[in-house]
């Protein structure tokens, strides 16, 4: 009788243990589903609504200004454009705007005290999974832009509302569909012609101890030629767009997933005075052997034809 009672007790304990484990597993499952739902649907939807509100405010102000403007307004380059005044009052960190109609990009660009501040902050300063596009903190003059104006933004992969769409520029056909990027400051509107697109690393260990400082802002005259030569070796295709020492560049940096911490970089040249609004895209041609970081070749088991090339080093690079 005592043995039977003991066996029953053990069975009851096992049964209660299974129930507890089942309850824990169920809670974990519900938590995972909830987290996935928030991460995949709720947060992107909230951020999309907020970005749409900001874009609507800017576009509405721009429309009102255009309707009231004289036929031939004279540009003043050190006065904030009217369409940005209300948003600048909302967030003094606003520095400009990026517009790419082909990809549905219509976003503010801010600038924080460093290059981490807006990685997970919305335009209004709240925590944000997608963050906000931002200028490199070293860009100091938005009236007279530096030689290389650098902008960062996330590639969210799923439900992307930021810069993931720039993955389309990895091909010649993608470039032909979108050869112009609009990146303006709060003082002046600019158009930029895509010059090069390439894949690179930010961890020197992934490329034989080398990091190409594509995000260098104030490139000296002496280093500029070497900088362009390094881009030319890396670009996935040529566009036919030319760059001279007097031109100013735009560099857009976003994540890609070819390898850990990979970056997709788009380099564009400011539209010159009296130049057509669109470059001749028929001149674009694929690069048969673009330069990649060593990690890219290692993953494919192929030799790196550029391994022994002398790399380009700027004066004082900073990792994006």
Per-residue pLDDT, 203 = 95
- Rounded CA-CA distance 155/33 in Å is 23
What does pLDDT average to over the chain? 86
pLDDT (tens digit per residue) in 50-71: 777 887 878 887 777 655 555 5
Q: What is the CATH T-level fold of the domain 79-300, as seen in this structure?
A: Sortase; Chain: A; (2.40.260)
Judge whether 231 and 267 are in contact, CB under 8 Å: yes
pLDDT (tens digit per residue) in 276-289: 999 999 999 999 99
Mean per-residue pLDDT for 167-188? 97
pLDDT band at 49 (very low <50, low <70, confident <90, very high): confident
Say which residues have a Cβ less than 8 Å from residue 150's Cβ, sequence separation at least 6.
Answer: 135, 136, 138, 139, 215, 217, 250, 251, 253, 320
Q: How many CA atoms lie within 13 A of 252 on its CB side?
A: 30
Judge whether 256 and 155 are in contact, CB under 8 Å: yes
Q: How many CA atoms lie within 13 A of 320 on its CB side?
A: 28
- Taking the CA atoms of residue 250, residue 199, residue 136 and residue 191 in that order, the dihedral angle to the nearest 10 degrees is 20
Q: CB count, 10 Å around CB of 7?
A: 10
Closest CA to 150 of 215, 227, 245: 215
Judge whether 279 and 192 are in contact, CB under 8 Å: no
Closest CA to 146 of 270, 239, 240: 270
Please, what sign has the CA dihedral across residues 122, 117, 164, 128? Answer: negative
Mean per-residue pLDDT for 238-258? 97
Per-residue pLDDT, 160 = 74
Mean per-residue pLDDT for 168-195? 97
Mean per-residue pLDDT for 97-113? 96
Judge whether 107 and 133 are in contact, CB under 8 Å: yes
Position of tokens 């028929």? 282
Per-residue pLDDT, 215 = 95
Judge whether 249 and 147 are in contact, CB under 8 Å: yes
Task: Flag the least confident range among 7-16, 48-57, 106-115, 209-218.
Answer: 7-16
- Please give the model's pTM, rounded to 2 decimal places: 0.84
Mean per-residue pLDDT for 183-195? 97
The angle formed by the CA atoms of residues 14, 15 and 18, to the nearest 5 degrees, is 85
Judge whether 127 and 153 are in contact, CB under 8 Å: no
Query: Is a pLDDT exceeding 90 seen at residue 137?
Result: yes
Mean per-residue pLDDT for 192-214? 95
Per-residue pLDDT, 213 = 92
């Amino acid at each position: 009788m005592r043995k039977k009672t003991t066996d029953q007790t053990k069975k009851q304990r096992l049964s209660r243990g299974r129930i507890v484990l089942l309850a824990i597993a169920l809670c974990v499952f519900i938590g995972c589903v909830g987290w996935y739902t928030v991460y995949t649907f709720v947060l992107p939807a909230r951020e999309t609504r907020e970005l749409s509100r900001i874009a609507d405010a800017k576009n509405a102000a721009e429309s009102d200004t255009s309707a009231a403007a004289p036929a031939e307004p004279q540009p003043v380059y050190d006065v904030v454009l009217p369409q940005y005044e209300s948003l600048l009052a909302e967030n003094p960190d606003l520095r400009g705007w990026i517009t790419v109609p082909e990809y549905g990009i219509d976003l503010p660009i801010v600038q924080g005290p460093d290059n981490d501040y807006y990685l997970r902050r919305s335009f209004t300063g709240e925590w944000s999974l997608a963050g906000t596009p931002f200028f490199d903190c070293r860009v100091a003059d938005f009236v007279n832009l530096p030689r290389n104006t650098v902008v960062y933004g996330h590639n969210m992969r799923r439900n992307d509302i930021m810069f993931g769409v720039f993955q389309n520029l990895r091909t010649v056909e993608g470039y032909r569909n979108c050869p112009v990027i609009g990146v303006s400051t709060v003082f002046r509107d600019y158009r930029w012609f895509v010059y090069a697109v390439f894949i690179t690393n930010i961890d020197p260990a992934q490329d034989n101890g080398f990091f190409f400082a594509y995000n260098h802002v104030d490139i000296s005259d002496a280093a500029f030629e070497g900088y362009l030569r390094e881009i030319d070796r890396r670009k996935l295709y040529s566009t036919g767009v030319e760059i001279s020492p007097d031109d100013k560049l735009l560099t857009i940096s976003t994540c890609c997933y070819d390898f850990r911490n990979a970056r997709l970089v788009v380099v564009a040249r400011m539209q010159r005075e009296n130049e057509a609004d669109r470059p001749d895209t028929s001149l674009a041609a694929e690069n048969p052997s673009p330069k990649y970081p060593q990690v890219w070749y290692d993953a494919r088991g192929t030799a790196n034809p550029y391994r022994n090339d002398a790399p380009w080093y700027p004066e004082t690079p900073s990792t994006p």
